Amino acid sequence: MTQRVLIVDDEPAICNFLREAAETEGWEVQCADCSDQFKQLLTKQHNVLVMDLMMPDTDGVELLRYVASIAITAKIILISGVDRRVLQSAQVLANTLGLGVLGVLSKPFRVADFIALLGSELTTAPSRPTATIQAISREEIECATRNNEWVVYYQPQIDIATQEVSAIEALVRWQHPQRGLIFPDSFIGQAEELGLIEELTRAVIAIALCDLAIWRAQGYVFNLAINISAKTLTDLSWPDRLHQQVLDAGITSDSVILEVTESGLMQDFATSLDILTRLRMKGFLLSIDDFGTGYSSMQQIMRVPANELKIDKSFVMNMHNHENAQIIVDHTIQMAHKLRLRVVAEGVETAEAWHSLAKAGCDIGQGYVISRPLPADKFTEFLRHRQWPAVLAL
């Protein structure tokens, strides 16, 4: 399939230089020298947009906002002669706008770096359609529970030092009879709004405990991590029901890690703390998910009886093209260890990131470099063959 790139830069020399480089790699190239021309040329067929941040007639940030507003799925490469930190902030902004950024290049840059970024478009996962789902109704969700349409995928969390599977994270999908496989970002929020999240979580836990029992019987020893919605942490009677469900499945609560997002914890801190403390007393392990993305104070975080901290993938995925991300990851690991918390890094996509995390002392890694989330049968094969890249061995 033809790969198409659209370049916008007011300097013709740069446009030509990039055009030649991309064409040599077999790309179909179009160039624009101003934002108006860029807007005219831009179509949904473009795979990559190369955008100069500083142009005389517009600023690149405005242009980013324009691209985001028309729901373009092309990946973006940002270039500019401005300070690298400005480029990096623009990258963060683009991510916040929901745009996929392949990387940033400060002028002058090497053609090889440009080609490498362009090439990474072919290997990165296609962006998932998130807006395809029209409002999901209460009936549909209830029906999904009744008809067992929830499917659980598993992603391994690997102990970086021993290379053993330390835990698996259960990630729900919806096998919809008409709409196909739907990812959680498209329905978890709605289930929360409709007050149906506890039932959904209960269904996910039931499936995951059942699968865990099978893997246990086959001799595998690892914990099970479950995502818990903030809404669930407002119901004081939930810990007892959860405990009973886990005991009924023949699993001990100290094999279950409850992943709670940092922002979720803070919605009603007093109630969350009450619930989390009781869960810990019942033996469950607690993990603070998406760490670094909320706005909680350290003082609050330190009061949560957590066992583990999960560094959000937005930092881990940017470690190698964003100095600040690397600094945040390193410091988070040190801080967590001082607080006697185990550290999990999610979103580990490259061997390079894996090695940086190992060097920084991170305990556990999770991400595409090891395995994508897999359905139970595929995950059993994964366990059997342990087929992750040898390059990850330290």
The residues that touch Ca ion, with contacts defined as CB under 5 A, are 227, 259, 289-290, 312
Smallest gap from residue 94 Cβ to ligand C2E (A): 15
Among 155, 196, 149, 197, CA closest to 173: 149
Residues contacting residue 238 through CB under 8 Å, at least 6 positions apart:
198, 232, 275
Q: How far is CA 184 from the centre of its chain?
A: 12
Smallest gap from residue 136 Cβ to ligand C2E (A): 15
Q: Reduce the DSSP state of residue 125 to 3 states and report it.
A: coil
Smallest gap from residue 21 Cβ to ligand C2E (A): 27
Task: Compare residues 42 and 228 and give the one whose CB is closer to ligand C2E.
Answer: 228
Q: How many residues does the chain have?
A: 394
Q: Which residues bind ligand C2E (CB under 6 A)?
A: 155, 171-172, 183-185, 188, 201, 204, 227, 229, 259, 289-290, 313, 346-349, 367-368, 373
Strand-pair category, 180-182 with 223-228: unpaired
Q: Which does 357 bind (CB under 5 to 8 A by kind): Ca ion, ligand C2E, none?
A: none
What is d(CA 134, CA 150) in angstroms, rounded to the nearest whole number? 18
Q: Which does 373 bind (CB under 5 to 8 A by kind): Ca ion, ligand C2E, none?
A: ligand C2E
Q: How far apart are the first and last CA of the chain?
A: 38
Task: Compare residues 52 and 346 and give the one whose CB is closer to ligand C2E.
Answer: 346
Task: Compare residues 63 and 160 and give the one whose CB is closer to ligand C2E.
Answer: 160
Q: Reduce the DSSP state of residue 35 to 3 states and report it.
A: helix
Q: Which does 51 bind (CB under 5 to 8 A by kind): Ca ion, ligand C2E, none?
A: none
Question: 221 vs 174, 283, 373, CA distance in Å?
Answer: 27, 17, 18
Task: Compare residues 80 and 201 and give the one whose CB is closer to ligand C2E.
Answer: 201
Cα atoms in the 13 Å half-sphere on the side-chain side of 379: 23
Question: 376 vs 110, 175, 208, 381, CA distance in Å?
Answer: 44, 14, 9, 9
Smallest gap from residue 265 Cβ to Ca ion (A): 13
Task: Compare residues 46 and 231 and give the one whose CB is closer to ligand C2E.
Answer: 231
Q: Which does 184 bind (CB under 5 to 8 A by kind): ligand C2E, Ca ion, none?
A: ligand C2E
Task: Compare residues 259 and 349 and give the one whose CB is closer to Ca ion.
Answer: 259
Q: Which two tokens stand for residue 45?
A: 């067929």
Smallest gap from residue 192 Cβ to Ca ion (A): 15
Smallest gap from residue 151 Cβ to ligand C2E (A): 11
Task: Compare residues 9 and 308 and give the one whose CB is closer to Ca ion.
Answer: 308
Q: Which does 47 bind (CB under 5 to 8 A by kind): Ca ion, ligand C2E, none?
A: none
Q: Are 260 and 288 in contact (CB under 8 A)?
A: yes
Q: Are 124 and 28 in contact (CB under 8 A)?
A: no
